Structure 1
């Protein structure tokens, strides 16, 4: 019996999954480090949160430019460069002594490096390698962020508690070094590089050369998108998405648990549980976005997330089982919003612009996350608890659910494709 040959696109998806997994693991580490840094250096949570906030913001701002850099210079080169910069910043981190050094290494360098390996990388890979199953691929690659938490947070928390946070940094640097070798050997930029057609097609196509200024093209794409109502609605909903996920829960869930007498290892385990269920939820979301109205999917995702966040203060005060219920329910919806948002962006602006436009939409996501990361830290210092930030995020998600239904059903892609970029 003849065995069907695996399309090389799935190999690229696997390597991209691992890359995004490690990048997400690094981005989630500050949640584990807040309390140790507070104890060792005497920094307030507001000060530490300001650094995390800057890193989150730069992570988002790089997105639109990473889309064009990935196409101009190649996925493999850009990923290797980003991993090298990220690894170097982590290797130097154990030697830091002042807040400004933390700001430089984690706010600036780490933010820029991980930004090149954000969700835009998954969108670029799916666009280059797949004609069919794009929604599923975007869902899988988006879910890698959850899997990063699943693998790294409990490990990092355990190493931090047992041996100290510096050893945790060394562990991640070693993982990045191994990943760089994998990317160099097996990553490919385009199906044409291996003489194949994209998955779902039979025609081998030479990739188009990106023309124009790599720094200017995303700005031109932004200018044309600013006149589009759907773009503003996608940005608005994604702002609230970031406000209610990595900026709030990803950054402050472990310190909030610590305030209620729950150990860092236990709360990191709950975040890992969220990662397990988000892996399922986001992958299913990608499958559903290929088959259902993405606007209605976003309505349900944001609405259910809002209800779970309104429940969180009660779960923290109640019992461990209630917090487990929250972790499961919230985890299913952590970043399930990405596949339908990508689908709506591609429908409205066309596949050629989808990466850059989604990159700008992702800026709004990280801006919301940045506001939540800093604001929640400040409010915790002032009020002594995270109740107000959690409830505010819940209400914001309910508003985002209503915004999702305001997105137009009718695509303007034919018009926009005639606009110059």
Structure 2
């Protein structure tokens, strides 16, 4: 942390006297422009990653590729997304937020656009697996953390929460539109739209994104002269990222959190996010209807995430996670009996309930990282998030293979319910672990 000194640049955020002697204040602090721009980027990147679920049936029909091969491309995407995430903040510190974000968006644009030309399955793995995975991973959780930390001194939690929920909003925006395009114009039109959207989003980022408030002679929103502000991190951030991982791996708490969060990824992005639409289609439900339901899950995800943050401030985080994983597992065990040609009330109830629980696990998991790892918590959570994506990638492929072998997804849903029971045990064990100072965690 560095203390702001009384220099002309440091006081530029103060009201400046006009010619008539009256102070002039900016109508809108530029931090809110940066926040809105970041929200646009995160909504878009979430939409880009949600597309393969819509493409599974068309690609299977046109190219004859199995669900397992298509799921493998999604798995590569998820692994690279997760492994890139811990280093994303370091890349932004070294090369700048604007450059990294624009390059990431253009990488997504190229990866998506090239799928129009593909004829072999390896091309799918390269385009949607490698290129889109690296691009979306560069705009993962570290992006929201970096923006809120640099540009906001007040309302930091609110901004972080809104940006975190942007992923669900991306599904809400993109899925119905892309589903209609796939049905009406074909899958190639849909991926071209994704490619063009990624390119279009990069333009306002290039024009409007700034690295730090001080670049504009401003303080972060809510900061006052004399406040301690985040220091600019040097290139050593990469080595620190690796060192924190090495130290965290010596702790049993890290492995318990990583294991439970891997199950979180497996039972959300890996299974439901990738296979919900084709599974519903197997039961005769139109893909446009299934896509709208998945978007509705995203809507309730936003509500659930905000509510979970409120609960995390008031209740024990480990116990919250046990409740979340337990209820999620129960709902997944019921899901195979709920699929039907049309949407009936029990199935709609699942959509609402499951949506509320989708990423409700994030706030208490972050709180447990802070509780056990202190100042290193953001980087530790980055690695826990990487495990989330690895778990998602494994189950994404496994569920596709099960569909090819057995002709349905039933075993995948039941297996996911069992995994949630294991996550409950992991969270119970975390609550039994002592804090670094030797104190046993007590319920709040």
Q: TM-score normalized by structure 2?
A: 0.86
Question: What is the correspondence of 1:133-282 to structure 2 with a 5 Å cutoff?
Answer: 133-202=155-224, 203=226, 205=228, 207-213=230-236, 215-282=238-305
Give the corresponding residue for 2:104: 82
How many residue pairs get aligned? The number is: 412
Which secondary structure does the structure 2 equivalent of 1:156 belong to? Answer: helix
What CA deviation, in whole Å up to 9, does each residue of 1:20-70 have, x standing for no partner?
Answer: 111111111000000000011110111111111111111111111112112
Q: CA deviation at 1:289?
A: 3.0
Q: 1:114 aligns with which of 119, 122, 136?
A: 136
Q: CA deviation at 1:16?
A: 1.6
Q: CA deviation at 1:257?
A: 0.6
Q: Would the aligned equivalents of 2:284 and 2:340 in 1 still touch at CA under 8 Å?
A: no
Which secondary structure does the structure 2 equivalent of 1:320 belong to? Answer: coil
Give the corresponding residue for 2:426: 403
Which has the larger Rg?
2
Gaps of 5+ in 2: 1-23, 439-444
What CA deviation, in whole Å up to 9, does each residue of 1:178-230 have, x standing for no partner?
Answer: 21122123223333334444445424556423335454332211101112232
**CA distance change for structure 1 residues 69 and 368 in 2, over 3 Å: closer, same or farther?**
same
Q: Distance in 1 between matches of 2:356 and 2:296?
A: 10
Give the corresponding residue for 1:285: 308
Give the corresponding residue for 2:332: 309
Q: Distance in 2 between matches of 1:359 and 1:106?
A: 23
Q: Distance in 2 between matches of 1:8 and 1:359?
A: 28
Q: Would the aligned equivalents of 2:148 and 2:159 in 1 still touch at CA under 8 Å?
A: yes
Q: 2:88 aligns with which of 63, 66, 87?
A: 66
Give the corresponding residue for 2:347: 323
What CA deviation, in whole Å up to 9, does each residue of 1:91-123 have, x standing for no partner?
Answer: 222111111111111111111111001122122
Q: 2:364 aligns with which of 332, 336, 340?
A: 340
**CA distance change for structure 1 residues 169 and 230 in 2, over 3 Å: closer, same or farther?**
same
Q: Would the aligned equivalents of 1:197 and 1:204 in 2 still touch at CA under 8 Å?
A: no
Which secondary structure does the structure 1 equivalent of 2:269 belong to? Answer: coil
Q: Distance in 1 between matches of 2:97 and 2:436?
A: 29
Which secondary structure does the structure 2 equivalent of 1:350 belong to? Answer: helix
What CA deviation, in whole Å up to 9, does each residue of 1:151-192 have, x standing for no partner?
Answer: 111111100110011111121222222211221232233333
Q: Would the aligned equivalents of 1:192 and 1:207 in 2 still touch at CA under 8 Å?
A: no
Which secondary structure does the structure 1 equivalent of 2:430 belong to? Answer: coil
**CA distance change for structure 1 residues 302 and 29 in 2, over 3 Å: closer, same or farther?**
same
Shifted more, 34-43 versus 211-220: the winner is 211-220
Gaps of 5+ in 1: 415-421
Q: Distance in 1 between matches of 2:210 and 2:246?
A: 32
Q: Distance in 2 between matches of 1:79 and 1:311?
A: 41
**CA distance change for structure 1 residues 316 and 10 in 2, over 3 Å: closer, same or farther?**
same
What is the RMSD computed on CA atoms of the aligned residues? Answer: 2.4
Q: Would the aligned equivalents of 2:78 and 2:389 in 1 still touch at CA under 8 Å?
A: yes
Q: TM-score normalized by structure 1?
A: 0.91
